Amino acid sequence: MSSASTAPVFIPASQCEVLFSEDEIRERVRAIGAQISKDYAGESIVLVGVLKGAAIFLADLARSIEVDNTFDFVAVSSYGKGKTSSGAVKLIKDLDVPIEGKHVIVVEDILDTGLTLSYLRKLMLQHKPASLKIATCLDKPERRLVPIEADYVCFSIPNRFVIGYGMDFAEKYRNVVDIRLFPEELAGK
């Protein structure tokens, strides 16, 4: 077997510093779920998760919400985060169920430059929902390229590369139960 490989380095998640523990995440997700339940008391809501990163946050958030809710998923092309990126976002999986007249919350794992959510917000509004809000597990405000804010945020963080709780490096580590800092030198940032 050749020793040459282009595969990204894999280091055990246990070697990465914990930024937010499983308990801290659970507590914040419950708080956001309680806030949403209060804000939408007596209503029905549709949670729209953005694949793939938001899948785990959405699963926990949906189970923390007491008001009537359904969920759906969209997927967008990863536009690449390199310096030469056009920043163009494309939809690669649309909604399965109409959202016209519904109260919609778009659910993200991380709000970074804002390009993805800015694109999705415009797209969702074209479907004429009764209302549209954004929930994100993490917010990196200093990375923002376009003006957009989330209505519900679990944690605001500095510009560090994170993994776990749905967030990946080269598709790995999404299953890690807490949120950890991935070494910048390995992330190639």
Smallest gap, in angstroms, from Cβ of residue 148 to ligand PRP? 8
Q: Does 116 bind ligand PRP (CB under 6 A)?
A: yes
Nearer to ligand PRP, 69 or 116 (CB): 116
Q: Does 114 bind ligand PRP (CB under 6 A)?
A: yes
- Residue 35 sits in the site that holds ligand PRP (CB under 6 A): no
Member of 16, 47, 48, 110 binding ligand PRP (CB under 6 A): 110
When asked if residue 108 is in the footprint of ligand PRP (CB under 6 A), the reply is yes
Q: Which two tokens stand for residue 184?
A: 């910048």
Of 94, 96, 112, 178, the catalytic one is 112
To which H or E segment does residue 32 belong? helix 22-39
DSSP 142: G
> Measured between alpha carbons, how far apart are the two ends of the chain, in Å?
30
Of 115, 159, 123, whose CA–CA distance to 139 is shortest? 159
Binding mask 67-106 for ligand PRP (x = CB under 6 A): -----------x----------------------------
Interacting residue with ligand PRP among 53, 73, 132, 164 (CB under 6 A): 53
CB atoms within 10 A of CB 58: 25
Q: Judge whether 23 counts as a catalytic residue.
A: no
Q: Which is nearer to ligand PRP, 68 or 94 (CB)?
A: 94
* Integer CA distances (angstroms), 147 to 31, 95, 114, 142, 153, in order: 26, 25, 7, 11, 16
Smallest distance, Å, CB 77 to ligand PRP? 8
Least Cα distance to 50 among 112, 8, 101 occurs for: 112
Under rule CB under 6 A, residue 135 binds ligand PRP: no
What is 61-126 written as a DSSP string?
HHHH--SEEEEEEEEE-----STT------EEE--SS--TTSEEEEEEEEESSSHHHHHHHHHHHH
Considering only 26, 30, 52, 121, the residue that binds ligand PRP (CB under 6 A) is 52
Verify binding: residue 168, ligand PRP, rule CB under 6 A.
yes
